[in-house]
Amino acid sequence: MPDSTGARWDADQQRWAEGARPGPAGLGTPPQPNIPALVLVSLVVLLVVVAVGIRVGASAENGSPTADGAGSTDPSDEAPSGEPTGGGCESGSVGGHCDAEEDQEGFGNREAAEEDLEGEPPEEEEAPAPDGYELRTDSNGFELHVPEGWQREDEGPPEGVFYLQDGRRDLIQIAGFEGAHDSPQEAMDALESGVRGNAGFFSYEQDYLGGESLAVELNYVYDHSELGTRDVYARTFLGGDGEVYAVLAAGSDDDWQLTQERYQTAADSFCVTGYDCP
């Protein structure tokens, strides 16, 4: 049993011993803790904890981000339920930024606007001439397709320009009336009236094609004293400059299909230079 003389239990000897517990070998009496230093460190730690707590509380009240990147906002600032938030993004919004695959309307509209400014419609190209024909740009201010190798003669108004071969047996005539007629219909009526007195004259009914050009067509035949029966196809119409024009093709009645093809090709390809030519 321990007594007042300072007896102690020796764990190594498993018995009571007298005297103080020996310290580790070579160390002597263990150092005593520095009580003032411990108290000072504890006060510093406490002040730091209090300061951090105050800062966190202020951040939560102001809705600013905290140290871990999360923030709180005033519920009154939130968008009403059912309305898009995050700058117009209804879905795919992460951290207030629109998902790239979900909302690119603004970027797309900007690209479309830039394309509208930069992308001008390509210039219309002249349709290639059919086989056996060539494009002729006439000095009188028009273009059309005529058979390859045909010669040009300019008779001046009112007859106009002729493209022809073989002594006028086959020809295409282009006439501009220079304001003599107010409409294609009036010009066609005048043309038919002028040839009606030819020998053997016979005509089919006029065919009103209409459209922007107000075109009118006529097919007639008559007897020529040297060339025999002639088959004639004519069209009067408004050109791109608003003036009245006529395109006419004539040939042998025996070759009426070829004459009709030449007429159709020339009349359909006619355009006024600087107005409706590609």
Question: Could you read off the pLDDT of 213-261 as tens digits, one per residue?
Answer: 999 999 999 999 999 999 999 999 999 999 999 999 999 999 999 999 9
Q: What is the pLDDT of residue 91?
A: 41
Q: Structure pTM? A: 0.56
Question: Is the predicted pLDDT of residue 33 greater than 70, yes or no?
Answer: no
Q: What is the pLDDT of residue 40?
A: 66
- 114: β partners: none
Under the banding of pLDDT at 50, 70 and 90, the label for residue 89 is: very low
Q: What is the pLDDT of residue 96?
A: 43
Instruction: Residues 133-272: name the CATH superfamily.
Output: Mog1/PsbP, alpha/beta/alpha sandwich (3.40.1000.10)
Going by their DSSP bridges, the two strands 133-138 and 161-165 should be labelled as unpaired
Q: Where are the domains of the chain?
A: 133-272
Cα gap 205→219, rounded to integer Å: 8
Q: What is the pLDDT of residue 119?
A: 56
Cα gap 52→65, rounded to integer Å: 14
Q: Is pLDDT larger for residue 127 or for residue 103?
A: 127
Average pLDDT over residues 48-62: 59
Q: Collapsing DSSP states into helix, strand and coil, what is residue 129?
A: coil
Q: Do 16 and 7 meet the contact criterion of CB atoms below 8 Å apart?
A: yes
Instruction: Return the percentage of the chain with pLDDT > 90, whole number.
Output: 49
Q: What is the pLDDT of residue 11?
A: 57
Question: Is the predicted pLDDT of residue 94 greater than 80, yes or no?
Answer: no
Residue 175: how many other CB atoms lie within 10 Å? 22
Question: Is the predicted pLDDT of residue 209 greater than 70, yes or no?
Answer: yes
Q: What is the pLDDT of residue 59?
A: 56
